[in-house]
Structure 1
C-alpha cells in the first residue's frame, strides 16, 4: 500500500480523534488530551495514537485508563467517519517528545546561565 495513502489516513484519524476525544468522551477520568501523532501500519490493521495530557502523573494514568475503556467506542466512531473496509485496532501511548524537549531546554538554559555567571 502506498505511503501517501497511509499518511493521509493517519492525518484524517488524528483530526477525527481530536474531535471524538474532545467532544464525545464523557468519562471524567479523561482530562485535557491532545492527539500529537497517529502512526498507522502499512496494512492499515493497527494504529498507534500518541497523546499528550495536561496534568500530573495520576491524571495521565487516569486518562490512559479512561481512553482504554472507551477504545471500542472510539474505534466505532472512527469507522463511521472514515470509510475503510476495516477500521484499524487502536492503542494509546504517551508522547514523550514534549517532555524530552522541555528537559533539553532546561539543561541548555542551566548551561547558559552557568556560562553567564562566570
Structure 2
C-alpha cells in the first residue's frame, strides 16, 4: 500500500518563513549596528539539513555594501536570538545577501513609463 505524502516536505518552507518573521523582529528591535538601517527581508532559503540559510534583504536608505557587512557581522548575534525563539534542533548559519529585485523593478517601471510617454508623443 502506498504511503500518503507527509507535511515534512513543506517543513522547510515553514521553518524559512518563521526564520524570516523572527529575524525581522530581531533586526528591528535588538540590532544596534548603525550600518544597518531600515532593512526589509524579502526571502529566506534554508538548506535541507537546516545548516545554512540565505537571507535576501533590501534597504530603503544607505549603502548596500555597508548593510551587508553589518548584517553578516551580526549574524552570530542574530543566530543566537533565533536559537532562543525557534524550537528546532539546528539553527542555521545565516548568510545575508542584498536583493536588487526592487531596484530592477523600479528601473523597469521607469523605462516602461518613458516608452509609453514617447509613444503617446509620436501618435499625437
TM-score greater than 0.5 by the shorter chain: yes
1:31 alignment counterpart: 37
TM score, norm. by length of structure 1: 0.92
1:73 alignment counterpart: 77
The CA deviation at 1:28 is: 1.3
Matched residues, number: 116
Q: Report the 3-state secondary structure (helix = DSSP H, G, I; strand = E; otherwise coil) of the residue aligned with 1:14.
A: helix
The structure with more radius of gyration: 2
What are structure 2's unaligned runs of at least 5 residues?
1-6
The CA deviation at 1:2 is: 3.3
What are structure 1's unaligned runs of at least 5 residues?
none
The CA deviation at 1:87 is: 0.8
TM score, norm. by length of structure 2: 0.88
**Cα RMSD over matched residues?**
1.3
1:105 is aligned, of 97, 109, 114, to 109
- Rounded Cα–Cα distance in structure 1 between residues aligned with 2:110 and 2:9: 36
